[in-house]
Structures are given as structure tokens and as C-alpha cells.
Structure 1
Amino acid sequence: MVALPSGLLGSLDPTSDRAVFRQIADHLREAIDKGRFAEGAKLPSESELVDHFGVSRMTVRNALSMLQSEGLVSSEHGKGVFVRPRPPVRRLASDRFARRHREQGKSAFTMEAEAAGSRPEVDNLEVKEERPSADVSARLGAPRRVLARRRRYLLDGRPVEFATSYLPLDLARDTPIAQPNPGPGGIYARLEELGHKLDHFEEEIRARMPSPQEIKTLRLASGVPVIHLVRTAYDTKGRAVEVCDTVMAADAYVLSYQLPAT
């Protein structure tokens, strides 16, 4: 058996009351966090870990299973266990909806993807008229019907979020907003062209575990939570012109905000 490089992983503490498999998981997690195992790197085999820590194979498997449940690693049958890549996208809350991006014909997602050096895609697009939920209706001022725009966003082929925009039907019907591709700058550019100059946005954010359908849509690994964001856009007259309900893979985003101190 080939010994693991010195310093790559620590040793067990026989005086600790922490379960042995959890100690092994702690050492592996620390090695991943400190970059000893880079994204996409293969972890030591079960046999190497058994030899290094002097434990049973089942104990090692429990440790690896724990890391899998946290979304840190993934197992490939017959190949081994690998560190999951986690490409971050930085969402600039004070900048991402700036008018200058729309004037350049860029949506917020396109701008974010370019900043991250990634290739953006949009699929699973659906545009249809429907009756809003009670929550969406309340946020939009109680319209009876809305235009719903559903889409999934991908970076370099990986799904990272899906979103549904709800707009009052009297604003969106028979306009480019009702088309699958609303044009450069997205629906916010079209709203402003229709006379609804945007004034501000309100966002509510929470983290939670995903539903089975969200796991399937975003291809989430076991243990990966989601960020659930609901944004309401207001025009300069104070009217709510859009509600956007977004679910994001939490391991693909960094939320960055600038907040005034006065």
C-alpha cells in the first residue's frame, strides 16, 4: 500500500469523544477547504484511507458518505470519489440591475456570467398567461391575470438557477415581453421602453433545502441547499411591475451587497 503524502491528512485523536468516522470526515473536509484536494481532484481510495487511519472500510465509507451528504464530494462508480466543482457567480445587488447594463443590451445574468468568465445559456423557456398565486397577486396589486415567464439558467452547461417572472397582463400582453426572446436588455429594458421607468427593487432571500423537483431541475448533489429569492420591481410611479421568484443552487453563488452606513 502506498502511504499518503506527509501532512495531507491528519491523524485520529483517540481521546476525542467525536465518532471516528466524523473525525475522518473533518480531516478530509479541512484538506478540501485548504486546497490540498482541488476541485475535481480524486480523494484517496477507501483502501488508502483504511490504511492511513487504521480503521475499518465501513468507517471510511461512513466518512465519505457524510461528505457526499454535505455536497462536497461526488462518487463515480468504479472510478472513486471526487471533489465537486463549485463555480461561484457573484451577484452584485447594488449593481446587477443598473440601467447601463440594459442600455448595453445585457441582462443581469449575462453580465454576471461574463464577470465570472462563464458561458451563459437559458433553456426550458415557457411564456403563458395564468391566474397568479395569492402571494404574487398581493405583491402586484391584485391583478386577476398575469403573464408568467419561466426559464432555467445554465453556466457552462450546468444548471444554476430557475426563475419565474410574473407581470400584470395589462402591461405585458401584446408586447415584446410576451415573446420568448424579449430582445436586448431583457424584460426590464422593454418595460422602460413602454413608459415604466424602473425606480427600485425589493428582494427577500432565504436558504432552505430543495424539493425533489428542484433537485431534478438543478441537478443538485445530495446535501446542497438552495437560495430562494423573491424580487419585486417598482416603477417611478410606485407601481409593482414584476415579481420574480428565483431558486438558485447555493453552491454556485456568492451574494455580495454594499449597504450604506448612514
Structure 2
Amino acid sequence: MSELPLPHLDPISDRAVFRQIADHIRHAIETGALSAGDKVPSEAKLMQHYGVARMTIRHALQILQGEGLTVAEHGRGVFVRTRPLVRRLASDRFARRHRDLGKAAFIVETEGAGGTPTVDSIAITEANPSPDVAARLALDLRELVVARTRRYLINGQPVEMATSYIPHALAVGTRVMQPDSGPGGIYARLEEKGHRLERFEEEVRARMPYRDEVRALELAPGVPVFHLIRTAYAVGGRAIEVCDTVMSTDAYVLTYELPAS
């Protein structure tokens, strides 16, 4: 184990041996002794170091995988999970200057983190809103909304799914109805139509992902998601978009600047 110094087991601890081993490897990941993409020592090496059975080592490794810290690759071993962290600065991400440059928020954030942003699985439908969306947009349940669903990827890795709901009357006849909404995204299109954005409200909570979200975001076991609902308001106070977003928590850091007075 000379390539990765690990402590030895505490013989008088009441903590189970496999949990002590998981603690040691987790500490190595958290302190950077094992970096993203690094291979965790093999089962054989860990067995030799700790003097325990293979099943004990496997229980320890299962804990780390369940926490989303590692990923097992068949025939290759166990690796520290790569996390393409993007710092999502709430006070800046929807600044008009980005739209004026023809860039939507996701592009700005991802490029700022040195990643390559892409979007796929784009679907556009027209439907009646759910009661929650109708209430946020101040619409009757019988009115139509345009729903834009898409998946966001960083360096080819899915990190986020989002569905925007826009009142039909605001979207019809614009590129909001097309898969490629154009430079600056849908907010730029809405402002071109005279709906100048004034503010946004976001609600964020963390939860475990649903089965379809695990598949779409290719989440490792134990990785939760951020569930964010944003409402965009135009000057005058009218809500013009609701965006329902599910984000992988191991891809984002949410950063907020708050006034002190």
C-alpha cells in the first residue's frame, strides 16, 4: 500500500471493520490523496493491508459506491467518481449581458468551469398546465402552455434535465417553439417580443432521484438531486416562464450572494 498510505484498523473501536475501511478510503478521497478518476486499491491489496476477508472489503466498497463517491467498472476496478463541478452563481447567471452576447446561462457557467456544454433530448409540446404551473403563471387550467424539455450535458456527461413552461400566447410564432431557440436562449426570445425580464424566484430542495431521473442523468447509486423550480417575471410583475429542473448534486455547487442590509 505504499502508493496510498492508509491507516490500520483500530482493534478497540466498536465501529464495524468494514465501516472503518470505508472511512479510511473516504478520507483519502476527501483530502485529495485519491483524486477524481484515480483507481482505488484493488480488493487483493486492501485484503492484504487490513488482513480481512474479501467480503469485508466488498462491503466497504459498496458503502462508498452507495454514497456516490466511487464507481465500479467491470474488469477494470473501482475508481473515484469524476465530478464536473460547475459553480452556479445565482446573482449572475441570468444577467442580461450574457444574453446580449448570445449565451444562455448554462453555456456561460459551463465554459467558465472549463467544460464543453451540449443539450440533447429536446422536446416541445403544447398542453394544459398542471395546477402548480397554472398558479405560478396565473393561468386558467384550460389555457395552453408550451413545454420545452431538454437535457444538459458537460463534456458528454448528463448533469441536468429541465422543462420550461411558457404561456402559449407568448411563445407562438417565436423560436421558443423550435428546438434551437437561438442565441441567448428562450429568455432572449421573450425579451425580443417586449417582455423585458425583471427578476427570478427559485425554490431549491434536495431529494433522492426517481428511477427515470437516474437513467437520464446516469446517476451513481446514492447520489441525490437538486430539484429547482424557477419563475421568471417580466417588468410589471407578470410571470412569463416556469422552469422545473432536476440537477445532479455531484455536478453543481450552488452559490448565492445575499445583501446584509
Under TM normalisation by the shorter chain, which class is it? over 0.9
Q: Which residue of the partner structure matches residue 235 of structure 1? A: 234
Q: What does residue 40 of structure 2 align with?
A: 43
CA RMSD of aligned residues (A): 1.0
Cα deviation, residue 7, structure 1: 6.7
- How far did residue 75 of structure 1 move? 0.8
Structure 1 residue identity aligned to 2:150: R
**Residue identity opposite 1:66 in structure 2:** I
- Which deviates further from its counterpart, 174-183 or 45-54? 174-183
C-alpha separation in 2, matches of 1:6 and 1:53: 15
**1:181 shift after superposition:** 1.1
1:115-126 → structure 2 map (5 Å cutoff): 115-126=112-123
Q: Work out whether 1:63 is the aligned partner of 2:64.
A: no
Alignment of 1:242-257 (within 5 A): 242-257=241-256
Aligned residue in 1 for 2:111: 114
Structure 2: give runs of 5+ residues left out of the alignment.
Answer: none
Cα 1:184–1:6, aligned 2, differ >3 Å: closer, same or farther?
closer
CA–CA distance in structure 2, aligned partners of residues 172 and 75 of structure 1: 45
Q: Identify which range, 70-79 or 59-68, moves more after superposition.
A: 70-79
Write the letter of the residue equivalent to 1:29: R
1:42–1:6: structure 2 CA closer, same or farther, 3 Å change rule?
closer
- Shift in Å at residue 145 of structure 1? 1.1
- Looking at structure 2, the residues matched to 7 and 91 of structure 1 have their Cα atoms a distance apart, in angstroms, of 33
1:215 is aligned to 214
Match of 2:202 in 1: 203
Separation in 1, partners of 2:83, 2:4: 25
Which runs of 5 or more residues in structure 1 are unaligned?
Answer: none
Between the aligned partners of 2:3 and 2:157, the Cα distance in structure 1 is 36
- Note if 1:10 corresponds to 2:25: no
Query: For 1:77, which of 74, 77, 85 is the aligned residue?
Result: 74
- Name the counterpart of 1:181: 180
Task: Indicate the SS of the match to 2:250.
Answer: helix
Structure 1's 253 and 6: CA in aligned 2 closer, same or farther, altered over 3 A? closer
Tell me whether 1:92 sits opposite 2:81 in the alignment.
no
Q: Which moved more, 1:98-107 or 1:143-152?
A: 143-152
Deviation of residue 223 (structure 1)?
A: 0.7
Q: Is 56-65 or 137-146 further displaced after alignment?
A: 137-146
TM-score by length of 2: 0.97
Q: Cα distance, 1:6 vs. partner?
A: 7.6
Shift in Å at residue 104 of structure 1? 0.4
| Deviation >6 Å, runs of 4+ | none
Q: How many residues in Structure 1 have an aligned counterpart in Structure 2? A: 259
Query: Which residue does the alignment assign to 1:103?
Result: 100
Structure 2 distance, partners of 1:18, 1:52, is: 18
Q: Secondary structure at the match of 1:182?
A: coil
Secondary structure at the aligned position of 1:251 is classed as coil
Tell me how far apart the structure 2 counterparts of residues 40 and 180 of structure 1 sit (CA, whole Å).
Answer: 34
Distance 1:96 1:191 in 2: 17
CA distance in 2, matches of 1:6, 1:97: 45
The residue type equivalent to 1:48 in the other structure is K
1:58 deviation in Å? 0.7
